[in-house]
Structure 1
Amino acid sequence: MTVSWWCSGSAGQPWTWTYRPLIGVWLLASAVIGLRELAWRRWAPDGAVRSGRQDAAFFGAVLGLVAVSEWPLGPLGAGYLLSVGMLRYLVYTLLVAPLLIIGTPQWMWRRLLTTNSWVLRATRLVTRWPFALAIANVVLVVTHLPPVVDTLKVWQAGSFGLDMLWLLGGLIMWWPVIGKLEEIPRLGDPAREVFLFGQSIVPTVPASFLTFATLPLFGLYELAPPVWLGYDIVADQRIAGLTMKIGGGIVLWIIIATLFLRWATRQERIDRGKATEADMAAEVRSWEGRAPVSGSRS
């Protein structure tokens, strides 16, 4: 059985459905889980209580990372099917990243990001909405440029680096929407919805190139042995473009609609004078761009 560190380009090797474990994926997942458990044991503040919702979000993020990085989706996306590669990008940025933010307790984020003044200042800078929007889209465009893909994905370290860039770009993109620290404020409503709307527009450009191209754009996928008989690289390329635009757009628009409806409902209750004290506090925190107060349960 062939064992590799991380998924990478095929290098002319025919695709096989024989299981090929990727040890780096399991080591990364184990390290992330282990560090979180270590933090709970050593650094959790007095009275901190574990939240089932946070644990579910965190382990959902780890499961998503493993699912699209291990065999078969990892190798397929890294060197055989661009459409699967695009699916991997969307899972990293639209699923794994936000679930990691939600699944990490507030006190843990505070220890990670505010203990060092340089880290705090850098995080404040990159998570301001103009920079977050720019960084997320620069990562999207650069990591899907044919020269970058053809150069980096043919070796394991380069493919790993691209995957981690996707994850980092996703964390930066989602912090202004669901960030959990008052020291690093997030956007209020309805600014969060406007921010996500902007994020849904830029992917249209690279998606259009992929969808309407009549020739293969990536040498890596063009020269890879076909996964099945009759495989069409241009058709797969179009599926990748549609996945980026439609798949990513649907996810973002569902979240935009959910956030807007919650804000509108709360605003209506306030306008009618039926808002509870919690509603009023939530509205104030929303416009101030502050994370919800969660006390020791965060």
Structure 2
Amino acid sequence: MHQHHGDPTIPDFWGILSPGTLLITLVLAVLYFAVIGPWKDRIGGAGQSVQISQKISFVCGLLIYYLATGPVQAFAPLLFSAHMTEMALIYLAMPPLLLFGTPAWLIRPLWNGKKRERVLHFFTQPLITLILFNGFFSLYHLPVVFDTVMSYGWLMSLSHWVLTVSAFLMWWPVICPLPEKDHLSHLQKMAYIFGDGVLLTPACAIIAFSDVLLYSTYQGGSQVFSFLQPLDDQSLGGVAMKIIQELAYGGVLGYTFFQWVKKQRREDADELAARKKEKDTDVSSVSFNH
């Protein structure tokens, strides 16, 4: 994560490109395709295939990771709106894509062992995940907490990791890669996403509609764009977070709804086929008796 020491300067081309972050992203992509391809049999995925939609999803998740921690993060020490965009991409857009793209056999070993299973079971319960993520997120954006975190590099890294882990846990009940752990019905998942959106709104609204500068970290810094005053930048941060949240939640909500409709149609078709079979059996037995 970025550190706010002294007056940060506007990033140059290489600062925006972030070669280090680009390299990490490419290494992760190569690793992913090696694990689901040539190394699959050794890891316990023999005979299992990974759908094309999963591969696309995972790659999109990695792209978002690069954009957030590379080009967007380059402006984060200067612009609060860039900092908020980075957070929204990492916590709200990236985890569902990576979770959806991860095959079940790759994540299942995490649950091996009674103790570990108990801990993971507790931390993936819907109410716990909602409270943890939204609680941490709201706490982080209290001005006194935010400015303290921004003053220390290690504290910033720690809070970033805590929020990232809690974001993955928050998405787990909805995009569960393990069929045997996927306990929520489609309707419950939709209610969960709706609840999540409601809990996240106050923090975004306070930031977007505040008429005073909330964070001393972003006061008196160099202005990147002449048209973007510090207070407008702060409001833009709240709006950017809300827009990305709506897009991410809306996308997952839409996907969940279509999966639900598909399931209902399949059940209806099965029921119809069963009735038809029953009817045909009755007809044939009647004609046989005659």
Q: Normalising TM by the smaller chain, what interval?
A: 0.7 to 0.9
Within a 5 Å distance, the mapping from 1:196-235 to structure 2 comes to 196-235=193-232
Give the corresponding residue for 1:139. 136
Give the corresponding residue for 1:263. 260
Once the two structures are overlaid, the 10-residue window that deviates more, 12-21 or 84-93, is: 12-21
How many angstroms does 1:9 deviate by? Answer: 2.3
Q: In the aligned structure 2, how far is the partner of 1:232 from the partner of 1:225?
A: 11
Give the corresponding residue for 1:292. none
Scaled by the length of structure 2, the TM-score of the pair is 0.80
- In structure 1, give the amino acid aligned to 2:52: G
Q: Does the 8 A contact of 1:106 with 1:181 survive in 2? A: yes
Return closer, same or farther for 1:23/1:145 CA change in 2, 3 Å cut-off.
farther
- Counterpart selection for 1:82 from 74, 77, 80: 80
Q: In the aligned structure 2, how far is the partner of 1:24 from the partner of 1:125?
A: 36
Within a 5 Å distance, the mapping from 1:48-63 to structure 2 comes to 48-63=48-63
Asked if 1:25 is matched to 2:21, the reply is: yes
How many angstroms does 1:131 deviate by? Answer: 0.5
Q: In the aligned structure 1, how far is the partner of 2:263 from the partner of 2:102?
A: 26
Aligned positions, number: 269
Q: Does the 8 A contact of 1:54 with 1:102 survive in 2? A: yes
Asked if 1:150 is matched to 2:153, the reply is: no
Q: In the aligned structure 2, how far is the partner of 1:31 from the partner of 1:247?
A: 27
Q: Which structure features the higher share of helix residues?
A: 2
- In structure 1, give the amino acid aligned to 2:21: V
- Structure 2 gaps, min length 5: 275-290
- Counterpart selection for 1:14 from 9, 24, 31: 9
How many angstroms does 1:149 deviate by? Answer: 2.5
Q: Does the 8 A contact of 1:93 with 1:166 survive in 2? A: yes
Asked if 1:73 is matched to 2:72, the reply is: yes
Scaled by the length of structure 1, the TM-score of the pair is 0.78
Return closer, same or farther for 1:96/1:146 CA change in 2, 3 Å cut-off.
same
Return closer, same or farther for 1:261/1:54 CA change in 2, 3 Å cut-off.
closer
Return closer, same or farther for 1:51/1:267 CA change in 2, 3 Å cut-off.
closer
Once the two structures are overlaid, the 10-residue window that deviates more, 30-39 or 202-211, is: 30-39
How many angstroms does 1:85 deviate by? Answer: 1.6
Q: Does the 8 A contact of 1:11 with 1:224 survive in 2? A: no
How many angstroms does 1:43 deviate by? Answer: 1.1
Q: Does the 8 A contact of 1:178 with 1:186 survive in 2? A: no
- In structure 2, give the amino acid aligned to 1:52: I
Instruction: Give the structure with higher Rg (CA).
Output: 2
How many angstroms does 1:50 deviate by? Answer: 4.1
Give the corresponding residue for 2:184. 187
Q: In the aligned structure 2, how far is the partner of 1:247 from the partner of 1:33?
A: 24
Asked if 1:115 is matched to 2:112, the reply is: yes
Give the corresponding residue for 2:45. 45
Q: Does the 8 A contact of 2:93 with 2:244 survive in 1? A: no
Q: Does the 8 A contact of 2:211 with 2:231 survive in 1? A: yes
How many angstroms does 1:24 deviate by? Answer: 6.0
Once the two structures are overlaid, the 10-residue window that deviates more, 250-259 or 94-103, is: 250-259
How many angstroms does 1:219 deviate by? Answer: 1.1
Return closer, same or farther for 1:12/1:177 CA change in 2, 3 Å cut-off.
same
Asked if 1:163 is matched to 2:160, the reply is: yes
Give the corresponding residue for 1:293. none
User: Please, what is the CA RMSD of the aligned residues?
Assistant: 2.8
The percentage of counterpart residues that share the same residue type is 22
- In structure 2, give the amino acid aligned to 1:48: Q
How many angstroms does 1:249 deviate by? Answer: 2.5
Q: Does the 8 A contact of 2:80 with 2:234 survive in 1? A: yes
Q: Does the 8 A contact of 2:92 with 2:244 survive in 1? A: no
Q: In the aligned structure 2, how far is the partner of 1:74 from the partner of 1:256?
A: 28
Return closer, same or farther for 1:196/1:242 CA change in 2, 3 Å cut-off.
same
Return closer, same or farther for 1:55/1:257 CA change in 2, 3 Å cut-off.
closer
